[in-house]
Amino acid sequence: MSSSAWVAIAAGEAQICRMRAMSCFEVSADLAGAIERVVADSTPLAITLECGKGAVLVSASEWASIEETLYVLRSPANAERLLEAVRGFEAEEEGVAFP
């Protein structure tokens, strides 16, 4: 059936996410099932062609979130403010004083 693949996603700082991978042939055999799984668990699905190229299937809600994130991060000043807020939040969770 499907295999797992590790994919790097960059948004300010690199993160690693787990993503299922299936061949185009596997997906075409059960497209509705593939879409249902992507929607149910919000995990992207890498779809590969024999030539090695491919695409990624994401749920509509995940895509809306990605678009919103890209829009907000377009402004370098806004991106820096958001990263500072995240750093402050993470430091607070770890009990570290953050300026």
Which CATH number does the domain housing residue 29 bear?
3.40.1620.10
The confidence score (pLDDT) of residue 9 equals: 41
The confidence score (pLDDT) of residue 99 equals: 59
Counting the structural domains of the chain, the total is 2
Same domain, 49 and 70: no
Same domain, 50 and 78: no
pTM assigned to the model: 0.64
Same domain, 94 and 48: no
Q: Are the C-beta atoms of 51 and 45 separated by less than 8 Å?
A: no
Read off the pLDDT of each residue in 68-85 and give the average, rounded to a whole number: 88
∠ CA 34-8-81, rounded to 5°: 115
Helices (H), 14-59: 24-29, 31-41
| 12-61 per-position pLDDT tens digit | 444 556 788 999 999 999 999 999 999 999 899 999 998 989 999 999 99
Domain extent, residue 47, equals: 1-58
Structure confidence at residue 90 as a pLDDT band (50, 70, 90): confident
Buried b (16+ CB within 10 A) or exposed e, 13-30: eeeeeebbbbbeebbeee
Count of all residues that appear for the chain in the document: 99
Same domain, 54 and 64: no
Same domain, 15 and 53: yes
Same domain, 54 and 78: no
pLDDT at 83 over 80: yes
